[in-house]
Amino acid sequence: MEIDRFHIIDEISPLRAVILGRADSPGPPPAPEDCYDPKSLQHVLQGTYPREADMVREIESFRRILEKHGVKVFRPKPLRHTNQIFARDTGFVIENKFIRANILPARACEVNAVLEIARRIDPDNIIIPPEEVHVEGGDVMPWYDYIFVGTYRRPDYPEIITARTNDKAVEWLQSVFPQKKVVAFDLKKSNTDPRENALHLDCVFQPVGRGKAIIHKEGFLVPEQYEFLVNMFGEENLFHITKDEMYDMSANVFSISPDVVVSDRHFRRLNRWLREQGLTVEEIGYREIAKQEGLLRCSTLPLYRD
């Protein structure tokens, strides 16, 4: 399928076009002081940081699943010695607008590689936030009349490298999409403990199927914000994941449609529940990429859903 515009209003409608990250030429493992998240740091210190060949194998298996279901897969321009796996960090689409993310300055080249694809599709509908707006795609979820935004709004925000989306992003998104209800969720953060760190909203919450969702209660700093999602989706429609399952990235599956979801084969309890809800579960191995505190949703940037 060739597309000439963007269209995303939710997380589960049939996917037609997506940018999928790439794992070739990521360069050597980072030094501990250069890690952006506590899980990568953990594996660097343990000597278990993933190898390029294993990450390439995993992400290519994801590509084959997407293409099997008729999805047009775009890939970022390859950059030497640059980790380009997590395309979701670099931008996101809401309705017919492509929003370029403002992410960590050291990763700006990743954004530019993805932006080249967006400009080929529809250069007139690309929006660049002001410099003071910090936002990454993993924290932003379009959901029909809503935009869910993961954020961190405590005074120590400047010292928390895992805090990627600020309060100015919430205000800015509301101004850009006044017809939407922008709802913020303050997330638990840690620079050092991956079991206490919700790097993005999609690490602790994600809709799947028809009216279902995966959620990790302890990832939310404000109980009332967690209860908002419980009331919206209904307790009976939620799959609650444990702290260990959050660490394994169980919330970070990816929907190809309301009926098909891609998941890690390691998530046995989750995958059984998904199938009980009537979903087709495409299982792949993604354990090596997971060592960098990202998984399937993180690897994708959807451009068009029906």
- Name the percent of the chain in helix, strand, coil, to the closest 5: 35, 25, 40
* Residues facing residue 102 across a β-bridge: 135
Domains within the chain, CATH numbers bracketed: 15-241+248-259+288-305 (3.75.10.10)
Nearest 5°: phi and psi at 82? Answer: -135, 130
User: How does DSSP classify residue 272?
Assistant: H
Which pLDDT score is estimated for 103? 83
Please tell me the distance from the alpha carbon of residue 101 to that of residue 282, in angstroms, as a whole number.
29
What pLDDT score was predicted for residue 108? 82
Distances (CA, A) of 267 to 5, 183, 208, 253: 35, 29, 15, 10
pTM: 0.96
Neighbours of 141 (CB within 10 A): 24
| Cα four-point dihedral sign 18, 220, 182, 174 | negative
Q: What angle do CA 88, 90, 92 make, to 5 degrees?
A: 65
Instruction: Provide block-wise average pLDDT over 10 residues at a time, the chain (306 residues).
Output: 91 98 91 93 95 96 98 95 94 98 85 94 96 97 98 94 95 98 98 95 98 98 98 98 97 98 98 98 97 97 98
d(CA 279, CA 176): 34
User: How confident is the model at residue 1, as a pLDDT?
Assistant: 66
pLDDT at 101: 95
Q: How far apart are CA 143 and CA 148, in angstroms?
A: 7
What are the backbone angles phi and psi of residue 201, rounded to the nearest 5°?
-60, -35
Instruction: Tell me phi and psi for residue 141, to 5 degrees.
Output: -130, 105
Using CA atoms, how far apart are residues 157 and 87, in angstroms rounded to an integer?
24
